[in-house]
A and B are shown apart, each in its own frame.
Chain A
Amino acid sequence: MAKGQKKFRSVGTRPIRHDGIDKVTGRANYGADFALPGMLWGGVLRSPHAHARVLGIDASKALEIEGVKAVITSADLPVIEAGDGPTNFWDLSRNILARDKVLYHGHAVAAVAATTAVIAARALERVEVEYEVLPQVQDVMEAMSPDAPLLHEDMFTKGLDPKPEHPSNVARRMEIARGDLENGFAQANVVVEREFTTRSVHQGYIEPHAVVARTGEDGQVVVWCSSQGHFMVRQYCATVLGLDTSQIKVIPAEIGGGFGGKTTVYLEPLAILLSQRSGRPVKIVMSREEEFRATGPAPGSRIRAKLGARNDGTLTACEAQLYFEAGAFPGSPVMAACMTMLAPYTVENLSLVGYDVCVNKPKTAAYRAPGAPIGSFAIETLIDELAEMLGIDPVDLRLHNAAHEGSQAPYGPKFRRIGYRETLETARAHPQYRTPLERNQGRGVASGFWFNAGMQSSAAVNVNEDGTVQVVSPNPDIGGSRVSLALMAAEELGIDVERVRPVVADTETIGYSDLTGGSRVTFATGMAVVEAARKVIEQLRERAAKIWGIDVSQVEWNEGYALPGQGNGEHDPLSLAEIATSASRTGGTICGNVSLNARGAAPGFATHICDVEVDPETGRVEILRYAAVQDVGKAIHPSYVEGQMQGGVAQGIGWALNEELVYDEDGVLENPGFLDYRIPVASDLPMIDTILVEVANPTHPYGVRGVGEVPIVPPLAAVANAIYAATGVRMRDLPISPPRLVDALDGKHSG
């Protein structure tokens, strides 16, 4: 039951995070910070070709080097039967170590373990691989042509009727449709149809992937690594290596950023296998170059989209085709792009078709609201164009078409209580929206949507003998979730958050939990914590009842104290600490454990305002001001909610202006480092104003919606729309780098 307008003592406050001191002093241990006695160093041999058949691998010369203890190839992995679930382990196994073919430059081919990192590197140079180089394809449209080189000779496009006769790089065609497109466009007074492209971008977390694995004579495996889900690591490793889940224990390290990029495994199975082969612990740390060459980018894309509106601003129809680069294996987020791009609007007639296309690049991984920023870039730009053509304020146009409670999402269901309108109204009233602009300056607006997720979570709340409390989370804390979980436990129990110590437990000490992702931890694991705390309160009431000799139904719990109900005699209230201290005499330790599959996740909407100044001679864009408005449901720790929003905005600005993975004509990445993969630096950005709209999610005890992903959705179009306002030039190809903008400006003037 929602607590309505109740004043909270903990929820909504901004305490210092419990894990903070370890992080500002350097004591916190991340993936690469572990070492074990006798540990070996692993290294990965990677393909020098974007597409080639592997004819043979000879590791004998590497094994001759003193200090080299093991070399593995895909021949050492069990063969996975073809599978087709949310995670395709056939693909995963072949991504971890190439089998038969390498599918991108940087694809892992072999791994070694040696007594030092330098010896491991030297050993890699001595592993001889014979390749038959094959033609490769990088561009999504080229990959779709009938004569394109095939990555998977036995892949036939799914979702076509009749079933295709020839194999294709198109893994799947997907469609969302409703209404009558022809009729919808016929109703429109204005129609815009445009093409958009975006390039592959990288999650760019600062901590590279790292792992230490140790195996024992009993076959038990212990893995230390940073990931967005150590249960995921356990399950993936067990499946790929053919081990029982109970054979693997994964101990989560602190995670140095993920943004979706640490939702799969690259190194962990290799480290386990090398440890099994060598009988020694093995550590592998990716270099930054390996990160860029071989870990999950977000897809490059091409979109053709057409949007129609009546003179009053009503959107009548939308048709779009979205072509996404999946990378070496199927699984781009193109469907999510189709589902999200129009979610903020009530468009009755639509057809959104997505194509998931394999190209010779690393397999894409999730990146913050996967797919949504790309689809929204197209739609939010078109809406800006329509607003101008119709002479309607862009916020008003959005308000006119805004999705609301009861309106039908493009992907089918009706929305329950959502706060999109509230974000628009708040944005319209924000002072930045009226701040005067000078020459070469412009303002852009865009909105965005993300589903948010529930899924499986576990939690334990353990009361210590002195009345302090342990909150045990199963989710790696990627951005402050521990303190948020502690706040909810403190609120329920009625004690100070400083008395609550949140920890992230390993796979053997807490029940299974899905990933840290989908903006789900504070929502779903939060629900588990709240339920576990309520179980604890039940026990606290029972113990108080025993102490007082009254019926438990007569004991209330209020602000950290057990109180006897009226007419149950004179008893002083018992504090949580007092009950805890006597717990051994009243029935033993007090604790609550909960596992649940959280229902009731509620979508998030955001509206952003971006002001830019363009240097028309050089094409450089300065972000002058930025305001992000978002319906967050309820901010448990407002500072970390703001931080999520600011971080998402910064990533979106980077995507809009300068980030792109540049591949040469041989499919070799030209910018595998932070020097030329240009994520925003501190001097690139202004302060990012955040406005938290709180339209409570009625199914969460505190109204939480989840906040991490929506903020990366609007910035791409917000920046592009602002640049248009400043220059009169529509930029529909990302990134809007200075050379591209100058070309476009020069084109405008000469045209």
Chain B
Amino acid sequence: MDPKTHVHTHINGEPVEFLSEAYRSLLEILRDELMLTGTKEGCTTGDCGACSVTLDGRLVCSCLVLAVEAEGRRVGTVEGIARGETLHPVQQKLLEHAALQCGVCTPGIVVAATSLLERNPDPTEREVRYWLAGNLCRCTGYDKIIRAVLDAASELRGASPNVLE
């Protein structure tokens, strides 16, 4: 057995402990040990964004974070985006705009888009497209995803819908 480190972290606001070998990614631990399978594996090289989570509030690919690096930090996953029964506006707008087909990129899109709107409540279409460039979607051509995020942004601002560029 390879040596393991005892890691203390917070996931979606809850204290969590786990054991991990140094080489295992945060993605592996989330999915295979903690059963948080909402975070998806698409490539393990940081190229697809399906495994997006936040680490101390910053958007990252969990496949490129060692699980042991979560020690003392805060991890946010897709499972922590909705508040109880209430969906986050990004989630709600993705549904209303039919902005998912197979849905496997959707958790990553949800995490990335909410992270964008926390930093930039009024993004342009171009800003949304570039922010989400690391989240590959092969089904939708992105059109409805971009519209949903812009719509969610305006709802969060309490404003009327953004006019597209």
Measured CB to CB, the residues of A under 8 A from B are 14, 16-17, 19-21, 23-30, 32-33, 35, 118, 203-208, 254-259, 285, 287-288, 478-480, 637, 639-640, 642-644, 646-651, 673-675, 679-683, 685, 687-688
Contacts and interface: CB of A to CB of B under 8 A. Distances in A.
Contacts of A30: 40, 104
Given A643-B144, A646-B143, A682-B129, A26 B39 contact: yes
B55 interface: no
Contact of B40 (A24, A207, A639, A651): A207
B145 interface: yes
Interface in B99-130: 99-107, 110, 125-126, 128-130
B4 to A, nearest CB: 12
Q: Find the residue from A17, A20, A644, A646 having the highest chain B CB count within 10 A.
A: A20
B16 interface: no
B5 interface: no
Contacts of B107: 24, 26
Nearest to A67: B1
A26 B78 contact: yes
Interface of A is mostly: loop
Given A23-B103, A118-B2, A687-B164, A650 B40 contact: no
Contact of A683 (B77, B87, B130, B140): B130
Contacts of B81: 25
Interface of B: 2, 21, 23, 31-32, 35-45, 47-48, 50, 77-79, 81-82, 87, 91, 94-107, 110, 125-126, 128-130, 132-147, 164
A9 B156 CA distance: 32
B141 A650 contact: yes
A647 B100 contact: no
A479 B105 contact: no
B59 to A, nearest CB: 14
13 contacts: A14-B98, A20-B95, A23-B100, A25-B91, A28-B103, A118-B23, A204-B138, A206-B50, A254-B102, A256-B40, A650-B138, A680-B142, A688-B143
Contacts of A675: 45, 47
A637 B96 CA distance: 12
Nearest to B24: A118
A208 B43 CA distance: 8
Contact of B41 (A14, A32, A258, A637): A32
Given A208-B42, A288-B42, A682-B135, A674 B100 contact: no
Contacts, number: 187
Contact of B47 (A640, A647, A673): A673
B100 to A, nearest CB: 6
B101 A643 contact: yes
B139 A643 contact: yes
A207 B102 contact: yes
Contacts of A478: 101-102
Contacts of B146: 682, 687
A650 B129 CA distance: 14
Contacts of B143: 642, 646, 685, 687-688
Contact of A480 (B23, B98, B133, B145): B98
Given A25-B79, A27-B38, A647 B135 contact: no
A682 B104 contact: no
A214 B35 CA distance: 20
A206 B141 contact: no
A13 to B, nearest CB: 12
A206 B48 contact: yes
A674 B43 contact: yes
Contacts of B129: 682-683, 685
B139 A647 contact: yes
A621 B145 CA distance: 23
Contact of B45 (A256, A288, A640): A288
Given A25-B79, A30-B104, A681-B136, A646 B141 contact: yes
Given A32-B40, A288-B48, A647-B141, 20 more contacts: A23-B100, A25-B78, A26-B36, A26-B38, A26-B77, A27-B38, A118-B2, A204-B138, A205-B138, A256-B42, A256-B105, A257-B138, A478-B101, A639-B144, A642-B144, A646-B144, A651-B138, A681-B133, A682-B142, A685-B142
Contacts of B44: 287-288
B104 A674 contact: no
Contact of B101 (A29, A285, A640, A685): A640
Contacts of A20: 94-95, 100, 103
